[in-house]
A and B are shown apart, each in its own frame.
Chain A
Amino acid sequence: MNYSYYPGCSLSDTALDYDRSVRAVCARLGLGLVDIPDWNCCGASSAHMTSHEIGMRLPLRNLLLAAELGHDVLVPCAACFQRLKAAERSLRADPGYWDVPADLPEFRIVHISSLLSEPQHLASLGEQVRLPLEGLSLACYYGCLSLRHPKITGARNYEQPRALEEIIGALGANAVSWSHRTECCSGSLTMARPDIAEALVGDIVAAARRAGAQALVTDCPMCQANVESRQRHSATQPGLPVFFATELIVAALDGSYPASQGRLHLVSAQVLSNVVKRAAEQREEAA
C-alpha cells in the first residue's frame, strides 16, 4: 500500500533521525512512501496563532499537492498532522471560501502512531522483532497535537490514548501507568519563554520518573526536542531520554542500537543500549 508522505520541516533538520526511522519502519511493513513534491511548511503554531488566513493556506497548498497523488497522507509530526487536518476540515466545509475545487478527491490524513497501531501492523511488528525490549519501562508521551482538538484530529480516545502503549507492547517493552501522557510541554513557547517550558517539562519528567519509567517515548518531534532539552538533570539525578516510537521499533527489529543514533540525544540514551545488549546476550545464551 502506498502513502503520500509529508515529512515537515522538523524531520528535515532537528529530527532528521526521526525521518530515517519512519521510512525504515514503513519499508519493513511493506508501506510505500511517496514524498509530496515541493511540500511547504504547515505554518506550525506560529501561523495559526497570529493569522487565520496564512495558518490555513499554508497547509491547504500541501493538501492540494497531495490530492494530485491521490493516496492517503502519512504525517509523522503531530504538529503538522494537526495543521493539515485543520485545513482539511475547513476546506471540506467551505471550499469556495478557500478557493479550492469542491470536488477534491477524498483521502485520509494519518498520524504515524494511528497507522502503526492498526492490528495488522502491530502483528507484523511483533513477528519481526529480533530482540524484544524486555525490562525497558517507558512512559508513553503523546502531548497535544495528535489528539486535540478531537473535532480536528478525529482522535477517539483523546484523554486515554493507547496507540503508543500498543506499539511498544508489540516490541516487548513495558508501559508504565502515569499521569502526564497528554499534558502540554509548551513547545510553541520554548524559545521565547524557556522558563515556562522548564516548569512544564520538569513536571512531565518528574511524573514519568515517579511512575518508574526509565525513558519516555513519543511520536511528536516538538515534544522530543523540548522534553530532552528543557529538563534539568545532574549526576545524582540523571535525565530521562525521549525516544521516538519508530526509533525503538528499528532497534527491536534490527536487534541493535547504534552508538551513532544514541549520540543524537541530548540526554544519555544508554538505557536503550543496555537493554538491547542484555537481550542479545540472553539470546546467545539460549542458543
Chain B
Amino acid sequence: MNQSIDTSEKIHHKFLDKLQARGIDVHACFQCGRCSAGCPVTGFFDLTTMEVVRLAAYGREEDLLASKTIWLCAACETCATRCPNDIEIAALMDVLRELALRKKTVPAEPRVPVFHQSFLQSIRHWGRAYEVGLIVGYKLRSGDLLGDMKLGLQMFGKGKLSLRPHSVKDKTVIEKIFSGQGKEYER
C-alpha cells in the first residue's frame, strides 16, 4: 500500500533525527562485523548486532522494533566498546527498546519487558529495589509462576531475600522522576 511507503519515509527522518540527537552515528558503519563477533547473546538473536545498525541506517524502524534482538541484548556494551567507528550501538538498543514501548509494539520477547516493568514498578514504589515484590510482580505479570521456585526458596533460606522492603524517605522526588520529569518539552 502507498500508505506504508509514505509512513516509512516520515519515520525514517524522525527516527534518524532522534539517533543524531543522541549522538548515535549509524551511518559510520562499514560492516566490519566486530560488534556481532563479540556479542555474547548473538546466538539467540533474530537480527545480528551489525544488521541492527544497518537497518537503523536505512530507517527500518518497524523491523527493528518487532525484533527479538532489541529485547535479548543484555546491555553489556561489548559491541560499542569494540566498534572501530565509535558507534554508540548499546545506546541505539536503548533507543529502540524505548520506542517499542512508547509505540506499544508487541514485543517479540514478552517476558523481558515484563521483567523491566516489574523492576521499575518496585523502584517507583519504594525508591529502591524490593526483590520479593519484584519477583511476585514479575511472576504475576509474566504467568511464569513456577520458574526458579527452588532458587527463590534457596535464596530466602540463606537470608538473601528480605520480606521487608527498604524504602527511601523522599518518595515525592522519585515519583516526580517516574511521572515524566524532563519530558515536559517532548524529549
Contacts and interface: CB of A to CB of B under 8 A. Distances in A.
Contacts of B158: 263-264, 266
A194 B147 contact: yes
Interface residues of B, number: 61
Contacts of B135: 191
Interface stretch (B4-12, B28-36, B52-60, B69-77): B69-77
A194 B50 CA distance: 25
Given A196-B44, A266-B154, A14 B77 contact: no
A121 interface: no
Interface string A39-53: 111011111111111
Contacts, number: 157
A51 B100 CA distance: 11
Contact of A57 (B119, B120, B177): B177
A183 B76 CA distance: 8
A40 B124 CA distance: 10
Contacts of B78: 144, 148, 184
A38 interface: yes
Contact of A13 (B95, B98, B129, B183): B129
A9 B128 contact: yes
A229 interface: yes
A189 B40 CA distance: 12
A50 B182 contact: no
Contacts of B166: 9, 12-13
Contact of B81 (A15, A150, A196): A150
9 contacts: A39-B168, A47-B120, A49-B97, A148-B80, A184-B40, A191-B135, A192-B115, A264-B158, A266-B154
